[in-house]
Amino acid sequence: MKKKLLSSLTLAAMLFLAACGNGATSESTSSSESSQSSSSEEVVTGASEQQYTDPAEMKDSYDIIIIGSGGAGMSAAIQAKDAGLNPVIFEKMPVAGGNTIKSSAGMNASQTKFQEKEGITDSNDLFYEETLKGGKGTNDPELLRYLVDNSSSAIDWLDSMGITLDNLTTTGGMSQKRTHRPTDGSAVGEYLVAGLLRNLYDRKVPLFVNSDVVKITEKDGKVTGVELVLNGKDKKTISAKAVVIATGGYGANMDMVKEYQPQLDGFVTTNQSGSTGDGIKMAQELGAATTEIEAIQIHPTVEQKTSMLITEAVRGEGAILVSQAGTRFFNEMETRDKVSQAIIGLPEKYAYLIFDASLKDRVKAIAFYEKQGVVESGETLEALAEKIGVPADALKTSLENWNGSVESGTDSEFGRTTAMENPLATAPYYAIKIAPGIHHTMGGVKINTNTQVLKEDGSVINGLYAAGEVTGGIHGQNRIGGNAVADIIIFGRQAGTQSAAYAKE
């Protein structure tokens, strides 16, 4: 049955039809519903084919225009609506969600109620310090401070909207369990996007897809709206009191990637095809400054045939990396830049993630990877070694040594200190072949903590706000896993609040 294939994301998208005035009466889904729940299927029954706001309903004017429907754009829209304004989202792709929907590890936050429940001692200061260290000390201190100090309330805000991230794990470079993910341990992106869409629907916020914003207009030093191309042909000029740029990064724009990092030519990208840096260019046309624009993150664990990112939660739950020689070669829980460089430094320039059946149970995404045909398995380590062509003895020794390190709590070989709670000892055993791929663009438009877009001289562009991957400064030269979702939610909210305050003036 077709409806059985629908994910919660599709469901939430379909529910837009009701929000957008075409008369359907579907109720919004319950907050606790998971992707596979049968109640999702029931709610979908009777929904029309149309998923997003009908283009015929596009108005000439809104209070606030939000460009891009990833986590930053949707958070901004919800917050602006709750402040009593009329926002709209324009999305250039045929579907909402951007790169956000592909995000896997979770959302980093400190001093949260969910950490407290698990007895995890964490602090905003530690979160700040570890992020700064991961970013090689180049993060904008004020933006980073804002991020950590508002992380716990952002988790509460999501929870209040039925988006509950109460399952905790760790990512590379973090010493505490502060990566918040859905209750069942599944990848955060699809759950988050479905939940945000559901909340936009509840608030009747219009979201137009196939709406490619090509210019942000300005008059007398103030932003006045946008020009967009609908369905690849109809040019429209829409006015607004404020504009929020939430267009994501430029990781799918190979010309920009090559311009800033020529050595990345030929790398696969994990980015969705809409991540083309449009927001950076449109902001620059209005005189916006950029910061660390050349900072591109390559993610260490990307399956190369599919360009599919293998979530950091696999390592966060205890997997190890081995080379074609069957031996470990680095601390798997180091920051992404360092792990990537270690893999590129191997003669074969790829590696294998190795894990066992009990880890597979803890990381739901692995079942999905299996369906995509990228997971090799063996009832014994010998069988697995044969499948991936590594020497069985070496692989067995690596696992024995590793399990010894887990037991003693000390990794004398590579100094790993986190994700050592569980040995890799339950058959069957698994391997995923990975190598680094272009993942996240850390640099972008310069903003202040009010998300106002800044010019080179530090002055603001009146009425122009930006949030999410399109901005720079928060992550410095290297982003920590789980910090992108924190960024888009925390600064997306702020962009909604601040643009609403400006629009009310």
Site residues (vs ligand ADP, CB under 6 A): 67-73, 90-93, 98-100, 212-213, 246-248, 274-275, 278, 468-470, 488
Q: Are 28 and 202 in contact (CB under 8 A)?
A: yes
- Torsion over CA of 436, 440, 443 and 448, rounded to 10 degrees? -150
Question: Given the DSSP bridges, would you call strands 460-466 and 452-454 parallel, antiparallel or unpaired?
Answer: antiparallel
Nearest alpha carbon to residue 252 among 224, 228, 278: 278
Shortest distance, CB of residue 318 to ligand ADP, whole angstroms?
28
Nearer to ligand ADP, 211 or 398 (CB): 211
Q: Are 491 and 74 in contact (CB under 8 A)?
A: no
User: What amino acid positions are annotated as catalytic residues?
Assistant: 336
Q: Are 437 and 268 in contact (CB under 8 A)?
A: yes
Nearest alpha carbon to residue 470 among 249, 303, 318, 210: 249
Nearest alpha carbon to residue 440 among 135, 61, 58: 135
Shortest distance, CB of residue 209 to ligand ADP, whole angstroms?
9
Shortest distance, CB of residue 60 to ligand ADP, whole angstroms?
18
Q: Report the C-alpha gap between 75 and 403 in whole angstroms.
A: 42
If one counts every other C-beta atom within 10 angstroms of the C-beta of residue 50, the result is 14
Q: Report the C-alpha gap between 77 and 204 in whole angstroms.
A: 11
Shortest distance, CB of residue 216 to ligand ADP, whole angstroms?
10
C-alpha dist (Å) from residue 253 to 37, 244, 259, 273, 485? 37, 21, 10, 8, 21
Give residue 395's identity as a one-letter amino acid code: L
Q: What is the DSSP string of 81-93?
A: HHTT--EEEE-SS
Q: Are 64 and 73 in contact (CB under 8 A)?
A: no
Nearer to ligand ADP, 98 or 443 (CB): 98
175 contacts: CB under 8 Å, gap ≥ 6: 126, 130, 417, 418
Nearer to ligand ADP, 375 or 484 (CB): 484
Nearer to ligand ADP, 193 or 375 (CB): 193
Shortest distance, CB of residue 247 to ligand ADP, whole angstroms?
4
Nearer to ligand ADP, 77 or 322 (CB): 77
Question: Given the DSSP bridges, would you call strands 320-322 and 351-356 parallel, antiparallel or unpaired?
Answer: antiparallel
Nearer to ligand ADP, 100 or 497 (CB): 100
Shortest distance, CB of residue 311 to ligand ADP, whole angstroms?
16
Shortest distance, CB of residue 178 to ligand ADP, whole angstroms?
19
Strand partners, 475: none
Shortest distance, CB of residue 389 to ligand ADP, whole angstroms?
37
Q: Report the C-alpha gap between 272 and 186 in whole angstroms.
A: 20
- Torsion over CA of 85, 67, 146 and 176, rounded to 10 degrees? 120
Nearest alpha carbon to residue 132 among 473, 371, 498, 457: 473
